[in-house]
Amino acid sequence: MRAADFDYDLPPELIAQDPLALRDQSRLLVFDRATSQITHRHFTDLLDYLRPGDALVLNDSRVIPARLRARNARTGGRFEILLVEENGPNNWWAMLRPGKRATLGTVLQILRGDATALTATVAEINSEGHRRLQFAGAENILTRLDELGETPLPPYIERGTPKAEDRARYQTVYAQPPGSVAAPTAGLHFTPELLDQARARGARVCFVTLHVGLATFAPVKVETLEEHLMHEERYVISPETAQTIAQSRAADGRVIAVGTTTLRVLESVAAANSGEIAAGAGRTRLFVYPPRDFKIVNALVTNFHLPRSTLLMLVSAFASPGGLDGRDKILRVYAEATREKYRFFSYGDAMLIL
């Protein structure tokens, strides 16, 4: 398939620029794969679709304040840094803007209003133009990010500097281990109360961890999907979660993945374990696009995704497992969501695919 097959028109005013006042008050479009029926609900109505014994699986990775401001220690030129992946303490791959000015050996002073003693040196440049930065002046830059960094809002949120509320709202209420540089946005709609109500309905709530990086948000720049190279992302499945999912499946419960990142973890592990879930940690570069069969996930909670994105390709595959018509189904759903003025992307509304 071609990347251009996943284009669609979206009025700019439907791109959500701010979160709703209350997380769980977003809308929920429900798409039934068997009948292609579309139902318009609210996110709290997700409870109506849960059955006793279902495993509701969420990604608990915490978003780090991954955006830093810096200046060239020699020339004073300003830079914006987006940390992408940690190689080790004080050693990160990053995207810089303007990138061409950050040549090998450039020393950057990290700013927080005024220059601090913390610096980053460009130690390597890869084929994609990303820089490997070696930080100095702190025992571990990761422990200083709350002080120095900004919430890494995506570029389609056009208000520039993040608001104070973004630090909490661009984060799930159940976030735990730090490591993501973009939010697992399907989980942004949940409140502690809603999760408790899901448990009261008999759902088994459990968590995986996938630290969101370039694989999730990097655009597809090649013409055909087979040419696209996914970046690796780190994941962890605990023994408790593996056991919970196994118990649900043994009792004919469904596995409901909250977010495309959760689905990629589960399907990556299942592919390596003869269709079963096993506890452990690893890295995945799974790229899901039509046609694709799914071994574990039976239903998916997700947001509305960008044109030509790997996330749109994933939900297109999920809309018609094993088939090639999922793209057409999802584009029809997106056209309906556009007509009904759903809010799109990270701070937007949600979709449940059954």
Number of domains in the chain: 2
Residue 289 lies in a domain: yes
pLDDT in tens, 13-37: 999 999 999 999 999 999 999 999 9
56 and 71 assigned to the same domain: no
- Please report, as a single letter, which amino acid is at residue 113: G
What's the token pair of residue 265? 């973890």
Look up the CATH number of the domain holding residue 139.
Answer: 2.40.10.240
33 and 128 assigned to the same domain: no
pLDDT in tens, 62-99: 999 999 999 999 999 999 999 999 999 999 999 999 98
223 and 331 assigned to the same domain: yes
pLDDT the model gives residue 116: 65
Model pTM score? 0.94
Q: How far apart are CA 262 and CA 128, in angstroms?
A: 26
219 and 202 assigned to the same domain: yes
pLDDT-flagged residues of the chain (< 50): none
85 and 37 assigned to the same domain: no
260 and 173 assigned to the same domain: yes
Residue 283 lies in a domain: yes
Q: Give the alpha-carbon dihedral of 304, 308, 310, 313, to 10 degrees.
A: 70
Q: Which long-range contacts (C-beta less than 8 Å, at least 24 apart) are formed by 272-277?
A: 276/246, 277/237, 277/241, 277/242, 277/245, 277/246
Look up the CATH number of the domain holding residue 322.
Answer: 3.40.1780.10
How long is the chain?
Answer: 354
What's the token pair of residue 59? 């990604």
199 and 269 assigned to the same domain: yes
Burial class of 121 by CB neighbour count within 10 A (0 to 12, 13 to 18, 19+): middle
Q: Give the alpha-carbon dihedral of 155, 156, 157, 159, to 10 degrees.
A: 80
35 and 179 assigned to the same domain: yes
pLDDT the model gives residue 282: 96
- Please report, as a single letter, which amino acid is at residue 93: W
313 and 186 assigned to the same domain: yes
85 and 26 assigned to the same domain: no
- Domain span at residue 270 reads 3-63+167-353
pLDDT the model gives residue 273: 95
Residue 94 lies in a domain: yes
- Please report, as a single letter, which amino acid is at residue 276: E
Residue 124 lies in a domain: yes
56 and 76 assigned to the same domain: no
Can you tell me whether residue 173 is helix, strand or coil? coil
206 and 325 assigned to the same domain: yes
